[in-house]
Amino acid sequence: MKLKPFDFYLKAPLYAEIEVNPENFKDFIYMIQVPTKFNGYNPLYKSATTYITQELYPGKYENGNLDYFLSGGGIYKTSIKCLRYDTVYIFFGKYVPTTEPDEDGDHFNVEKTGTFIKIGQDVQLMEFESWKVKNYRKVLSKEKQKELMRAIGLASHGVGIGSFVYLRRIFEELIEEAHLLAKTKENWNEDEYLSYKMAKKINSLKEYLPDFLVRNKAIYSILSKGIHELSEQLCLTYFDTILLGIERILEAKLESINKQKRDEEAEKKIEELNRKLK
């Protein structure tokens, strides 16, 4: 997960872990200390807005004021303020420094290395994400919109495996929609299709699926592995990435629908103009 304010505040589910290392350490310090603006959705006013981070960790790292927090770890409380309506939402994180034993058996901190965990927020993640689901109503049935909300809601409550179950249902629905379209065509072999595993099914339906889905068919195997083999924590850690993949598939379907609509409108106007000039 990238260390950006929008990711931590509005995307990361509860108990998602952000690994801090020397490569992203400056980004981490920036995130917890520098007021930053980013776009989002205000669930109270049901409106798009701009937020700014506030109640950040006091002092500058260069002056040593963060040494205690970084060496001993601790709870981090912060908030974001809606610049449009002045609404404030509170979030909590926990920093755990990485330690290693020395020759004497004592432990020492590994410099600029630790784990930052999201441990609380006063508004459910799904409330911030609900506007996205509404955008997909052209490509998702009402039932699948509800399931997408359930997936986000479960993740926000720390239920990783359950959230993967709903994301996989949505993925399977997208494949089935393409299947129903393909089976109406001549020379379609239904028995052969039903014998395929998911990856081969996707390849056989690539004419009817977004290119992004075909190229990233591994999403399905990751979801299945999460449901049957991974822990709740690992599913939560990977949730944001998999959700991003599902969203990109839905966006590709929306783009295709909108393109077709624009093409039809343009063709209609050209045809009308052509008739007028004859």
Tell me the domain boundaries of the chain: 5-122, 127-264
pLDDT value of residue 275: 92
pLDDT value of residue 32: 84
Quote the radius of gyration of the chain (alpha carbons, Å).
23
pLDDT value of residue 8: 83
The whole-number mean pLDDT for each consecutive block of 10 residues of the chain, a chain of 278 residues, reads 66 82 86 87 88 76 61 86 94 88 67 87 80 87 92 86 97 96 94 96 96 97 96 89 94 94 95 91
Decide: helix, strand or coil at residue 127.
Answer: helix
Tokens of 163: 């959230």
Q: What are phi and psi of 103, to 5 degrees?
A: -65, -25
pLDDT value of residue 242: 94
CB neighbour list of residue 22: distance below 8 Å, 6 or more residues apart: 111, 112, 113
pLDDT value of residue 5: 54
pLDDT value of residue 62: 46
Distance CA 255, CA 261 (A): 10
pLDDT value of residue 4: 62
pLDDT value of residue 60: 47
CB neighbour list of residue 19: distance below 8 Å, 6 or more residues apart: 115
